[in-house]
Copies of this chain bind each other. A is one copy, B any other.
Amino acid sequence: MQRINEAKLGDVIAPRDFGLDPVARVHALEFIDFLQTAYEDWKQCHGDSDAMPTCWPSRTLRQILPQEIDGKLSYYSFDAGTPITAGTWQAVTASVNVALTGAELIRSGKKTVFSACRPPGHHAGVDIYGGYCFFNNAAIAAQSLIDHGAERVALLDVDYHHGNGSQAIFYDRDDVLYVSLHGDPKQEFPYFLGYADETGSNSGKGFNRNFPMPWGTQWENYRESLDQGLKQIHRFSPDAMVVSLGVDTYEKDPISKFKLKSEHFLKLGDIIAKAIHCPSLFIMEGGYAVEDIGINVLNVLTGFINA
């Protein structure tokens, strides 16, 4: 926020409250209910500590919702690094409102909006959380654009990690095209989705495109995948675009292994803007080199606006 304010990039406004109806267009009602009470349920059993799952319904195990909180955490999550804390519900609902406020601005005619969402969202599926994500801000924003009249929305995901939640939410649909550039799941979280052979199913066939890239990928190769992904989006001719903006493709990101430099984020914004001409909502996803998140995000947005 400091970087954005300094650069006078545009008006900075607070989100308004959209309630849970737009969330329920993407997430299952019982999952929303679970998240709303999970911390209190946990606290009653375990006291005031982070709520963590213990196990997962993986191979050979059944997808059955248990009745106690420990089992519910295990059912609804897919990783061991996403605690639910006293502030989680407040944070995730605020984050969704930031995304939905962005979507509303796009609908009202803005060409470019940045939603500074925290926590991120692209790993969250219809009824599953993980990867620091609970509600899928980008998917909820895309759905809200559809629900207000957009016929086709492109969801471009440039976070270092594959947005397994976003893909799964729209996998059967032809009105939201999901295009993701990310670390190869053979090597990287979330490991079990994001392969190139996942192209959509049923009427969604052809409306999902993954560009997994190996550890050590540099800008030149990244750019080739970006060009291909943008061609897909251009052909789709979207009414609006949502960009899941992670800057963990950065060379100094402590948990990621791509080699983009800060200057490449300027180019990233520029290239996207020159390829796709429709109102665009940028939603903040990952980025763990905290010192440089500001400049890298600012570079993408500046590159995009000034293209």
Give A residues with C-beta under 8 Å from B. Answer: 52-64, 66-68, 70-71, 74-75, 77-81, 125-128, 130-131, 164-165, 168, 185-193, 195
- Nearest B residue (CB) for A74: B191
Listed by A's residue number, 9 A-B pairs whose Cβ atoms lie within 8 Å are A52-B80, A55-B79, A56-B56, A56-B78, A57-B58, A61-B164, A61-B193, A62-B195, A75-B191
Residues of B within 8 Å of A75, CB to CB, are: 191-192
Docked pose: A72 CA to B275 CA in angstroms:
38
> Are A64 and B192 in contact, with the CB atoms below 8 A?
yes
Whether the pair B192, A61 counts as a contact (CB closer than 8 A) is yes
B60–A191 touching, CB < 8 Å:
no
The 6 closest A-B pairs by CB, nearest first: A55-B79, A56-B56, A61-B192, A57-B192, A80-B80, A71-B191
CA distance A52 to B54 in the complex (A): 12
Q: How far apart are the CA atoms of A168 and B61 in the complex, in Å? A: 9
For the complex with contacts A60-B128, A71-B186, A71-B191, 14 further pairs of A-B residues with Cβ separation under 8 Å are: A54-B189, A55-B131, A55-B190, A57-B191, A58-B128, A59-B63, A59-B127, A59-B128, A60-B126, A60-B164, A61-B191, A67-B187, A68-B187, A71-B187
User: CB-CB < 8 A to A186: which residues of B?
Assistant: 66-68, 71
A185 CB, nearest partner CB in chain B, Å: 7
| Chain A interface SS verdict (over half) | loop
A57 and B60 within 8 A (CB):
no
Instruction: Tell me whether B60 and A168 are in contact (CB under 8 A).
Output: yes
Bound-complex Cα distance A103 to B160 (A): 51
Residues of chain B within 8 A (CB-CB) of A127 are 59
Residues of B within 8 A of A168 (CB): 60
Residue pair A193, B54 in contact (C-beta under 8 Å): no
Q: Which residue of B lies closest to A215 (CB)?
A: B68
Query: Which chain B residues lie closer than 8 Å to A187 at the CB level?
Result: 66-68, 71
A99 to B77, CA, bound (A): 35
Complex Cα spacing A190 to B74, Å:
10
Residues of B within 8 A of A193 (CB): 60-62
CB distance from A47 to the nearest CB of B (A): 16
Q: How far is the CA of A187 from the CA of B56 in the complex (A)?
A: 14
Task: Give the residues in chain B near A61, CB-CB below 8 Å.
Answer: 78, 164, 190-193
